[in-house]
Amino acid sequence: MKKDLITFLAIALLVTGCSKKGNRPEANNEVTNQPKEEATAVINANTLQQTIQGFGGMSVPIWIGDLTSTQRTRAFSPTEGIGMSILRVMIVPNSNQFAAEKPTIDAAKSYGAKVIATAWNAPASMMNGLYLRQSSWADYAAHMRAYCSAVGGVYALCPWNEPNYLASDWMHGTATEIANFVAAHGDNCGAPIMAPEPFNMDQNFINTYLSNATAKAKTLFVSGHIYGRTPYNLGNIGKSVWMTEHYTNSSISGNDWPNAMNAAKEIHDCMNAGWAAYVWWYIRRFYGPIDENSNITKVGYVMAHFARHIRPGYTKISCTANPTTGVYTTAYRSGSRIVIVAVNTNSAVTNQPFSIAGVTVNNFNRYVTTSSQNQAASTIAVSNNSFNINLPASSITTLVSY
């Protein structure tokens, strides 16, 4: 009897000990490790915003050499490369150097990219120091027209680059002066005008330029750069807005992941400001989207999350811009296709709910880039136009419906 009692007590202790040691704490650990579900990102496909014109970069052969054939493919191919749909080039002062731009221009156009061109300086004979002589306006228009004829297929051009950046050694100009030039000669430059392309996306400069009704009528779209400026909505100015030059940091590699995430957030901000295009500075540079060894960098893969999947003509639609701390989302549509880009700047996985109205979605292709992945692909199913996904820590995710 004593032996039986001892045996019973031993078994009871063993069972009790297992119970205390096992299931409940492990279950708690599982719950603790699950990503916290955040506020829903609400998308309305019927609330249309700006038409997207594209994402791209700059090529300047006379300064850093031309892109190679491989680099052109990796820049502009939407299947083998970043999928850039805009090429920005320089209208050089020396007409003997016009032809140097043509190989990359032709390659970009073969992938369907738009070519935009900007002049840093007029020919020296037309300038007085760093200012264009008014007596040379007609000659300057003819110079740009000759450039467009030489390279072919320029979608739009700007006669001045950052004319308000007076610390530069390129051509200066006031908003009124540039507007007067465009009003007088904007029809004779060989391509539609984009302007005034100020440093700092200076709204006073832009508004002064647009206050010239004739210049405004001859301007296809407003262009500008965001150095020193957070993207913002310019208001109802009656023109599409393109951000035509910026880079985030020229001192570190394009493969630096925190810097690439800065680029992701910056592109999000530009789109959320109502702008139609985002153009990086040099396409090929160690700090840019393609390095000198022709490899796509992390910055390039981040750009591809937009450029590959959001093609010219897509429309940005209503989407909660910042559904939870550290998560930034935008959405786009083309017909019944929906594209969502989510940037997770948090240091932990974030479970993000989405709901979609205005179009039926059943499935998404998902593409994820992190510090260790590049456009890693998978699929997700959608039920009743709502779904949750885990956004990896410090990541960018693009969802494309099918």
What digits encode the pLDDT tens for the residues 148-175? Answer: 999 999 999 999 999 999 999 999 999 9
The domain locations on the chain are: 41-47+316-401, 54-312
Residue 5 has pLDDT above 50, yes or no: no
Give the model's pLDDT for residue 10.
39
CATH number 3.40.190.10 given to 41-47+316-401:
no
- From the candidates 38, 197, 245, 266, give the one annotated as an active-site residue: 245
- From the candidates 162, 177, 197, 266, give the one annotated as an active-site residue: 162
The stretch 307-331 carries a mean pLDDT of 99
Class of domain 54-312: alpha beta
Could you tell me the strand order of the sheet in which 395-401 lies? 376-381, 363-369, 395-401, 337-344, 327-334, 315-319, 41-51, 350-357, 386-391
Give the model's pLDDT for residue 19.
36
pLDDT, tens only, 179-231: 999 999 999 999 999 999 999 999 999 999 999 999 999 999 999 999 999 99
Told to judge if 30 belongs to the known catalytic residues of this protein, a careful annotator would answer no
Percent share of the chain, pLDDT over 70: 91
pLDDT band of residue 21 (cuts 50, 70, 90) is very low
Give the model's pLDDT for residue 38.
80
**DSSP symbol at 341:** E
pLDDT, tens only, 252-274: 999 999 999 999 999 999 999 99
CA nearest to 287, candidates 320, 324, 260, 314: 260
Give the model's pLDDT for residue 150.
98
Residue-by-residue DSSP string for 344-370: E-SSS-EEEEEEEESS---EEEEEEE-
Give the model's pLDDT for residue 201.
98
Told to judge if 245 belongs to the known catalytic residues of this protein, a careful annotator would answer yes
Residue 68 has pLDDT above 80, yes or no: yes
Host H or E run for residue 228: none
